[in-house]
Amino acid sequence: MNHQISRLQPGLYFVATPIGTARDITLRALDVLASAEVIAAEDTRSMRRLLEIHGIKLGDRPLLSYHDHSGAKGREKLLALLAEGKSVAYGSEAGTPLIADPGYHLAREAMEAGHSVTSAPGPSAIITALTLAGLPTDAFFFAGFLPNAKGARRAALEAVREVPGTLVFYESPKRTGEMLRDAAMVLGGGRQAVICRELTKKFEEVRRGTLEELAAGIDGALKGEVVVLIDRAGASEVAEGDVEAALSEALENMSVRDAADSVAKAFGVNKRKIYQLALKLSKGS
């Protein structure tokens, strides 16, 4: 295919690249890659491969490595090229730059220096996962990657417990089981959730179920790349009256803690809330 090569206006062009299938890239993104005077990439090898697949010649144009950890020094070079009036295309390894990927600091500094900053939009795992999950998309909250340490991960889950929208997380395939178990504990095992794995690739898979069911279905590490989506609080919660009736019955022959545990588990709702209600009921107020 011939890519339209034109003289681009000077400035920084963020280019979205495929998240799997190499042909998931827009015609404009290819035009920008074919025309920019300078190409910068998080991973120059994968950028080179992408150019090759799409028949774009690098020629004598520079291909520079940049990620936000390159620090101010790495940015200086690109900012200097922008100051010379060059058109600079930047792509991350996969998907949309700046989305759990480098580019934010570069964008800020280029904007602050008065350079034109624009985007050739395209794939992102967030939007692809939301499209396939079958959870509401009217509002969603992208929480990025959760912390690795258990305590910090649970605290981060606690912080998004009441968000009124679908929760979207990027997750390592090795930690998905553990993350789902923590999410079931903090958010309630009955919330609907979805694992989207290997999107746009040969072994694309979408698993749906409650947090508890999905966690139970994972033994060890998953393979490939993973997005986890969780329904908002309350979406699948049962009527309060039913919970209260079950609690009253359980309190007849169980301690407050045991009754709360057993009812929270049965209804798949948050333990802490149920414990407060059980305390209130046990005091007869």
List residues near ligand SAM by CB under 6 A.
Answer: 19-20, 92, 94-96, 99-101, 124-126, 170-171, 196-201, 225-227
The nearest distance, CB 155 to ligand SAM, in angstroms, is 21
The nearest distance, CB 31 to ligand SAM, in angstroms, is 20
> Taking the CA atoms of the chain, what radius of gyration do you get in angstroms?
24
Q: Which is nearer to ligand SAM, 92 or 270 (CB)?
A: 92
Number of Cβ within a 10 Å radius of residue 111: 12
The nearest distance, CB 110 to ligand SAM, in angstroms, is 19
Task: For 113-140, give one letter per residue: b (16+ CB within 10 A) or e.
Answer: eebebebbebbbbbbbbbebbebeeeeb
Sign of CA dihedral 277, 161, 206, 175: negative
Number of Cβ within a 10 Å radius of residue 193: 28
Alpha-carbon distance 126 to 28, whole Å?
A: 21
The nearest distance, CB 122 to ligand SAM, in angstroms, is 9
Q: Which is nearer to ligand SAM, 100 or 254 (CB)?
A: 100
Backbone angles phi, psi at 200, to 5 degrees: 65, 5
Q: Which is nearer to ligand SAM, 19 or 157 (CB)?
A: 19
Contact 61, 38 (CB under 8 A): yes
Q: Which is nearer to ligand SAM, 124 or 210 (CB)?
A: 124
The nearest distance, CB 197 to ligand SAM, in angstroms, is 6
Burial of 106 (0-12, 13-18, 19+ CB in 10 A): buried
Contact 246, 215 (CB under 8 A): no
The nearest distance, CB 188 to ligand SAM, in angstroms, is 23
Q: Which is nearer to ligand SAM, 68 or 101 (CB)?
A: 101
Helices 104-112 and 71-83 pack at an angle, to 10 degrees, of: 40
Q: Which is nearer to ligand SAM, 126 or 269 (CB)?
A: 126
